[in-house]
Amino acid sequence: MKKYVDNFLQYRFLLSELVKKGIKLKYRRSYLGIVWSMLEPLLTMIVLTIVFGTLYGNTDRTFPVYILTGRLLYSFFSQATKAALKSIRQNSAMIKKVYVPKYLYPLSSVLFNYVIFLISLIVLAIVSIVLGVKPTVYLIQAPIALILILIMSYGVGMILATIGVFFRDMEYLWSVALMLVMYTCAIFYYPTKLLKSGWAWILKYNPLYCVIDIFRCSVFGEMMNIHYFEYALGFSIVMILIGLFCFKKKQDDFILYI
C-alpha cells in the first residue's frame, strides 16, 4: 500500500497539471469560459421548470431548486464518466512517449469535472437564497453526497476507461445508458407524485438517485435516508474496487490498442 501512496505523491504535480489542462481544453475558444459552468445549469433549470413546472401545473416555489440539485449531480456524473471513458485514447500520444501511471488520466478527467461541478454549486446557493430555501443544520449532510458521487464517478470511470480501449463503441452505448440513468434519477419530477403506477421502487435501486436524494435532503433541511446512504456507499466502494482491479490487470495491454 505504501508503494502506491508514494507513487501517487511522486506524480501529484503531474495530476494537478492534467486537471488544469482539462479545464482549459473544455473552455478553449469559449468567450464565456468558466462562467458557462454556472450559466448552463441555470438555463437548463429555467427550461425544465417551464416544461415540467408551468405546463404541468406545478406551483411549488422551490421546484427550480429541486430540479437544480438533481441536474447538477447528474451532469457531473455524466460528464466525468464520459471523459474518463475517453481519457486513455485521448492521451495515447503521451502514453507512447513517456512513462506515466495510466490511472492518472481517468482520475484527472474525473477531478477536472469535479472542480467545475463545485464551482457550479454557486448557482444552487444563489437560486436557493432567492427562492427562500434557507440553510439548516442538515446541510452538513451535503459533503457526504459530494464525496459519494466523486467515488462513484471515479469507480465507474475506471471501468469504462478500461473497456473503452478495447471496445470503441462503448462511448456510444454509454451515452444511451446515461439517458436511462437520467430518467431514473427523478431530476424533474417528484417520485411519490408522478410515479403512481407502482414502479417508483425502481428509483431506489439507482445508486445515483440515492446520492441525489441525500443531497436534496441536505438542501431542503431533512434527515437523509440511511438505507440510501448504505446502498450508495456500498455501490461506490464496489465500483472502485472493480475499476482498479480491471484497470491494473489490463493497463499493460493498452499500448497495443491505442
pLDDT at 106: 93
pLDDT at 192: 64
- Give the pLDDT confidence of 163-182 residue by residue, as tens digits: 999 988 899 999 999 998 99
CA distance 107 to 93: 18
Residues of the chain predicted below pLDDT 70: 1-5, 7, 29-33, 55-57, 192-201
pLDDT at 194: 53
pLDDT at 227: 92
**DSSP secondary structure, the chain, as one string:** -HHHHHHHHHTHHHHHHHHHHHHHHHTTT-SSGGGHHHHHHHHHHHHHHIIIIITTT---TTHHHHHHHHHHHHHHHHHHHHHHHHHHHHTHHHHHHS---TTHHHHHHHHHHHHHHHHHHHHHHHHHHHTT----GGGGGHHHHHHHHHHHHHHHHHHHHHHHHH-TTHHHHHHHHHHHHHHTTTSSS-HHHH-TTS-GGGGGG-HHHHHHHHHHHHHHT----HHHHHHHHHHHHHHHHHHHHHHHHHGGGGGGT-
Spell out the domain ranges in the chain.
Answer: 1-257
pLDDT at 147: 96
pLDDT at 83: 94
Mean pLDDT of the chain: 87
Instruction: Give whole-number Cα distances, 22 to 113, 202, 226, in Å.
Output: 8, 35, 35
